[in-house]
Structures are given as structure tokens and as C-alpha cells.
A and B are shown apart, each in its own frame.
Chain A
Amino acid sequence: MTLPQFTPLAASLFSLLAIGSLLLAFVMLGSRWLRDYMYAFGLQSWLIALLSAAMGHYAQVPELYVIALLTALFRGLLLPYLILRILRRLGVDRELRLKIQPATTLVMGAAAVVLALAVSYRIAGAMGNPSSVVVLALTVMLSMKLIGFLMLAVRHEAISQILGLLILENGIFLGSQVLVPGMPLLIELVILFDLLVAVACFGVLARYLVEHAGTTSSLELRRLVG
């Protein structure tokens, strides 16, 4: 596997964008308001789209411009719009019963980042000491995955769970942009439509939850109903 080489300016630009999206993942982790999650997610998608476009410019892969455009439109506009619509219909605006306070979750997230750093150093060692951008991308990817899992584990609203899933996916996408910039366009398209289907399914599921259980919190789902 050949890893891309970048100029210092490009490297610092990529680091800044990657770190920015990690920070937005923390905004989602630390906030109680579902609407804030939404905006942070949209902004994160725009940052990743910028990263794709910059990568397309520096690594001379024109396909990436298309991917950047699709990312911005789908993840940055369409998905947030759909989820906002679900939010408005459901009439929930915040996490009510938090098992773990946001401050504690933030510190747990910081621990997750340290773990991700340790792991990506090992991976980077196995890859033959690549540039620091690659290590950073690996770290951000792994820590966004861990944060996504953390959100899935500690949040109970149906909407926060799908957002946890979306952060997880964004993390993998970001990592793939830096690690393998020439990923075929077709795969990207498939992933984007998968996401769309996932959000649509979650919308249906959430409405089903409201109708049958009278709540959108997964805490209430204790009984298996045939």
C-alpha cells in the first residue's frame, strides 16, 4: 500500500480539518440538546467535504471533487434536514434522563482519544513509519469510532443513537479520505445511499416507538412483543 506524501502546508490544512471534525464529535458528546447534535453533525460533514476537496486538489484526484460535493449535499444538508424533520415531528428536544453526566462523558471521550492514539502508533509502526498526517488521520478515525460507540452506549433517545451511528460512519469516511484518497466513486455512492436508507429506517422506527411505546427513549423498551 502506498501512502500519499504531502507538502507541509497541505499537511497542516489536513490536520486542522481532521482535528476540527474530532472537536465537533466532542460537541455532540458534551451537549444535551438534540438540535445541537444536528448542527454539529452537519458542520462536521462540511469539514469532511472540504477535506475531500483539498485532498482532490493536492493528490490530483479529480474524482474527489465529486465526492466532496456529494458529501456536502448528502451528509451536510439532506441528512440533517431529514433528522430535523423527524425531531420536529417527535417533539423531543433534549436528552432527559442521562445516566452519565456530559462532563464525565467528555473526560471518557478524552480517554478514548488517548487509546486511539496508542493504537494508531502501533498501526503506524506496522505500516513503516508514515507521515504525521497519516497517524493523525488514523487517530481521528479511531477516536471518532470510539466516540460513536460511546454515544450509542450512554444515550437513550432514538435520535442520539442514530447520530452516534452517523459519527461512527463519518469517522471511517474521514480516515479513508486521507489513507486511501483514490477510493472508487461507486463505493462512496453506495455508502451514501446506505446512510440515507439507515436514516429513513430510523425515522420509521422512531415513529413506531412513539405509537406503540409512547416514548422515544430506548430505556422503555424492556419487553419483547411478538
Chain B
Amino acid sequence: MSIRDLALQTGQVVSVLALSPLLQGFILRYEERVQRARGPSLLQPYRDLWKLFHKELVVPEGASMIHFCAPVVAFTAMLIVPLLIPVLTNYPLPLSDMGDILGGGLILTLGSFFITLAGLDSGSAYGGIGSSRSVMITILAEPTLILVLVGIALLAKAMLPFVVNHLLVHEPAVYWSPAHVFLVCAFFILLLVETDRLPIHSSTHIEVYMIEEARILDYSGPLLGLLKWAGMMKQLILYTIFCNVLVLPWALSIHGTALGALGAATALLGKFALVACLVIVVETAQSRLRFYRYQEPLAASFLLAALAVIANQIR
């Protein structure tokens, strides 16, 4: 492993760490702007994290080891996934062959699983509600996710994200094929569901329907900061997979020079801004679904993924 590969690999993780609050800030700010309010500053999530890391830690009575483990596990999981996916370079770096797309999905789910455990750990009512709801959504979303991954694997005849990236860049006929278009649509719905966006969740703190927020309601101080940061990183990782693997596979560093990596990071900002604008449009136009209608967007996503697999057979 050369120094440059090491630097690039570290750069992937650091860019995910550093950019994730910015993405969150962008979405929050411009969503407010679209709704004709002023919106918080772009840097507000960074300030929130700073504030949380300087607060004292309050631990609920009856909290066990899990309470302390969960944020660390969730955060570490989010640090591992950027090693596996193309964030800056379009070729695999030395540690990228630790896992394929399914492996990345497994690690993402592991983080989420530990947060669910933490919600149940202290025995408070809200944590229990949040955990059970998020598990229900996972049950609905997971088959679709697997089917999307199967579709991607069939499209490229490989489970590695880098292979998919190369295929889409080099063969426009595959890029514009119905199978790929369907996969993009199916993944976009999953992206909305998994990153806590409407029509499923609401990230507002004081909501009856809260899901993500309810799971971590017992936390405070630095541990809460870690959890929030892990959530933002998960969002950024999913956006990266969506952009760099499926929708906009261009503008990645090919040779791995410093300039190329910098350019790739800048291009990443532009890609995220595009996807974030789309998400903002959806969030503004959509109202939240009732709890018992959550399966509808996910059924649509499942249908799209199934159609993608079928369209791929005909291609």
C-alpha cells in the first residue's frame, strides 16, 4: 500500500466526516427558503455538533453498557462504509475489497441496529416506540433494498460498486436502459425513507409520529453528538452511493492525483446539491403519510425494483 493510496483512503473517510453536516445544513436551509422562510445558516449543524460535544453527559437510570456502546458502534460503522464505496476515486483502493455492496449494506444496518437496541435499553416509553417503528420500516424497506442490490448486480454482473460505476460511464446504452432508470427511481424512494425524509418520517423534535428522534431521546451531550453525526454521515453515504454509483458516475478521480481528488470532492458538492434540491422539492410537495400507509411508497419502490430486474432480462 503506497502513501498515496493511504492518503486517498483517509481522504474518503475525512471528506464524508467533514461534508455530512454541510449537506444536512444545505437541505434544512433551502427547504425553509423554498417555503419562503429564512432558514438556518448553512453551518448550523456544525455549531450544533460543537455545542453538543461541549455539554455534560447525563445518563438515564437503568442504562446498561449498550447505552455507551451504541453511539460508538454506529459512528464507527459509518466510518467503515466510505472505505468500500467510490467517494473520491473511481478505482478500488487497497481496503475497498473488504466488502461488496451487500457488505456495505450490512454495516449500515449494523449501526442502525445498535441505535435500535439503545432505544430499547433504558426502558423509556419513547425509545420503545421509536425502536418498534423503525424496525417496522426496516422490515418494509429491507426486501426492496435487497431487490435493488440484486438488480444492480444483474445489471453489471458484479457486486462491486466500482464495476457498476465503470459500466455506466463507458456504456451509455446501459445508462439509458429502462433497467437502470428503474433502479434509480427505486433507490431514490429508498433514499427518502432511509434518510428520515417525507413522505415517511418527520425529523421535527416534538412530533407524535417521530421515529429517528424518538430512538435517541434518552441521549445527551457528546453521545448525542456522535449519534447525530452518525445519522448525517449515513445520509451522506447513501447520497454518495446514489450519485457516484447510480446516477452521476462521472467526475471522479481517475489517476488519484491530489488535484483529481480535490476536483472530485468539489464535484461531489455539486452532485449533492442537485440531489438535495430534488429531495427538497419532494419534501415541500409531499405531506406525511399516515402510519398505516407507509407501505405504499415502499411497495412502489419494490415494484420498480422488480420491473428493473425484468427489464434487465429483456435488455
Contacts and interface: CB of A to CB of B under 8 A. Distances in A.
Contacts of A139: 310, 314
A12 B315 CA distance: 9
B173 interface: yes
A16 B181 contact: yes
Interface stretch (A109-117, A186-194, A196-204): A109-117
A103 interface: yes
A110 B143 CA distance: 15
B300 A113 contact: no
B303 to A, nearest CB: 5
Main secondary structure of the interface of B (DSSP, over half): helix
Interface string A80-118: 000000000000000000000011101101100110010
Given A16-B178, A19-B181, A30 B296 contact: yes
A15 interface: yes
A132 interface: yes
Interface residues of A, number: 23
A146 B307 CA distance: 15
A84 B306 CA distance: 33
A26 B300 CA distance: 9
Interface in B287-315: 293, 295-296, 298-300, 302-303, 306-307, 310-311, 313-315
Contact of A19 (B298, B299, B311): B311
A22 B178 CA distance: 11
Main secondary structure of the interface of A (DSSP, over half): helix
A106 B303 contact: yes
Contacts of A23: 307
A107 B299 contact: yes
Contacts of B182: 19
Contacts of A49: none
Contact of B178 (A19, A30, A110, A113): A19
Contact of B176 (A16, A117, A132): A16
Contact of A107 (B173, B176, B303, B315): B303
Interface string A1-20: 00000001000100110010
A135 interface: yes
Nearest to A26: B303
A117 B303 CA distance: 15
B177 interface: yes
Interface centre among A8, A12, A109, A113 (most CB of B within 10 A): A12
Contacts of A109: 303
A106 B297 CA distance: 10
Contact of A103 (B295, B307, B310, B315): B295
A110 B306 contact: yes
Contacts of A117: 310, 313-314
A136 interface: yes
A71 to B, nearest CB: 21
Nearest to B306: A110
A22 B182 CA distance: 12
Nearest to A103: B299
Nearest to B315: A132
B306 to A, nearest CB: 5
11 contacts: A12-B177, A15-B177, A16-B178, A30-B300, A106-B299, A106-B302, A113-B306, A117-B314, A132-B314, A136-B314, A139-B314
Interface of A: 8, 12, 15-16, 19, 22-23, 26, 30, 102-104, 106-107, 109-110, 113-114, 117, 132, 135-136, 139
Interface of B: 173, 176-178, 181-182, 293, 295-296, 298-300, 302-303, 306-307, 310-311, 313-315
Given A15-B311, A30-B296, A104-B299, 15 more contacts: A12-B173, A12-B176, A19-B181, A30-B299, A30-B300, A102-B296, A103-B296, A106-B300, A106-B302, A107-B302, A109-B303, A110-B303, A114-B310, A117-B314, A132-B314
Complex A-B, nearest 7 residue pairs according to Cβ-Cβ distance, in ascending order: A103-B299, A19-B178, A110-B306, A103-B295, A106-B299, A110-B303, A103-B296
